[in-house]
Structure 1
Amino acid sequence: MTSVAKSDLTGRARLRAAALELFAEKGFEATSTRAVAARAGLSPALVTRHFGSKQGLREGVDAYVLERITEQLRQRAPEADLMASLGSASASVFGADPVLRGYLRHVLLEDSEASAALFGRLLAGARAEVRRLSETYGSADRPGGVGAGPDPEWASFQMLCIVLGPLLLEKVMQPHLRGPMFAPDVLAARSAANQRLLLRGYYGDYGHPEDEVGG
């Protein structure tokens, strides 16, 4: 998505952009509507006019972020599986945008209804993908043990931990990596490793090396 200078945005869009930056830097609770207005170079009264309240402003930011992700997903091939599409969309949306990464990190780590709701939406998508993978790679002759397939209760949580872990732990992981963890080549290497892990596990044979699911 092409970057647009704040001076070229409408008042509503300028407030939303400023809120996104401040929520990413400080979190929702620590950010006041006055600070958002100051960052946007507008009157605090315009926050109420355009969004109704601080919560309304947050909802506007959430809608914008989700639309960015949805826009990237629409560009994926329709036959592509969900996790491959999510992995690719995440790389496109968040890979080069530390503000969006910071925002999502704050939202997911805060203790609020909004954070729980967002995780719930992500979990629903992960569960759908686990079902798809189980139907594709599952086998009736694998009753248990290594290679038996994903745990029905925990598999979706494990998948999200793999996909979201680098974003949530970026600041502590980065010092231990050779390059920026969201650089294209690092993203590609991590995605390939996630694909192998999700399909085959560390020691089992859940699939074939050429089969990939993203992450």
Structure 2
Amino acid sequence: MTEARSSDLTARARLRLAALKLFAEHGFEATSTRAIATEAGVSHALLRHHYGSKDGLRAAVDDDVLNTFDEGLATLDASDLAALGQVTAQLFGADELRRNYLRRVLLEGGPAGIAVFHGLLDGARRHLTALRTVPMDEADARWAPYQALFLILGPMLLEPVMAPTLDTPVFAAGPLAERSASNQRFIAKGLLD
């Protein structure tokens, strides 16, 4: 378990964290509810009581992951691009467990992956709208949140193949800060401006 010591968490929270960990490591289909209950140190019946099914537990994990990002972004001045870049880098990069989960769920696709991407896209739209200082044409406005997510999610999705091309880990503090600053410049000025 990550976050707090698992003994300090409610059974419901331990189940959600165990599912997050096992779904990230093995995928949704390959993870049984019994394995989740064992990892959480609770009975299988308690998992059924709190979440009803594995699908209910996955929905709770997805909500928790998306809420973690929304809560982090809600603390900043929506018009401060540098702060937005730092927080998104921290949220998407520094939390290895959530990063691994997001990679897995987005690459697995299906309805769950689409729903998680949709949640991320809605957040990107909200924050970019708050940052926008000049009007955009319709096509640019439509694609801007996708482009922002490409910059943010790209290193996370490509981490396994990016790692051998760098001298330090992809999400180490130095490369993360450099990449975040570069992303901010791309968003603010464009790649070829």
* Other-structure match for 1:111: 109
* Other-structure match for 1:33: 33
Q: Call closer, same or farther: CA 1:123–1:67 in 2, change over 3 Å.
A: closer
State whether residues 138 and 149 of structure 1, in contact with CA within 8 Å, keep that contact through their aligned partners in structure 2.
Answer: no
Residue identity matched to 1:175 = P
Q: Which runs of 5+ in 2 are unaligned?
A: none
Select the residue among 189, 192, 195 that pairs with 2:184.
Answer: 195
State whether residues 170 and 181 of structure 1, in contact with CA within 8 Å, keep that contact through their aligned partners in structure 2.
Answer: yes
1:12 shift after superposition:
1.1
Mapped partners of 2:51, 2:13: distance in 1? 11
Is 1:159 equivalent to 2:148 in the alignment?
yes
Tell me the TM-score normalized by structure 1.
0.77
Tell me the TM-score normalized by structure 2.
0.85
State whether residues 123 and 156 of structure 1, in contact with CA within 8 Å, keep that contact through their aligned partners in structure 2.
Answer: yes
For residues 21-76 of structure 1, the C-alpha deviation after alignment (integer angstroms, 9 at most, x for no partner) is: 00111111211101101111221111101111111111111222223222212322
Mapped partners of 1:93, 1:125: distance in 2? 13
Name the structure where helix makes up a greater proportion of residues. Answer: 2
Mapped partners of 1:46, 1:72: distance in 2? 30
Share of identical aligned residues, percent?
A: 51
1:78 shift after superposition:
4.8
Mapped partners of 1:152, 1:21: distance in 2? 36
Mapped partners of 1:78, 1:138: distance in 2? 17
Mapped partners of 2:90, 2:155: distance in 1? 15
What RMSD in Å do the two structures reach over aligned CA positions? 2.7
Counterparts of residues 101-180 of structure 1 (less than 5 Å): 101-128=99-126, 136-137=133-134, 151-180=140-169
Q: Call closer, same or farther: CA 1:42–1:166 in 2, change over 3 Å.
A: same
Q: Call closer, same or farther: CA 1:67–1:132 in 2, change over 3 Å.
A: closer
* Other-structure match for 1:211: none
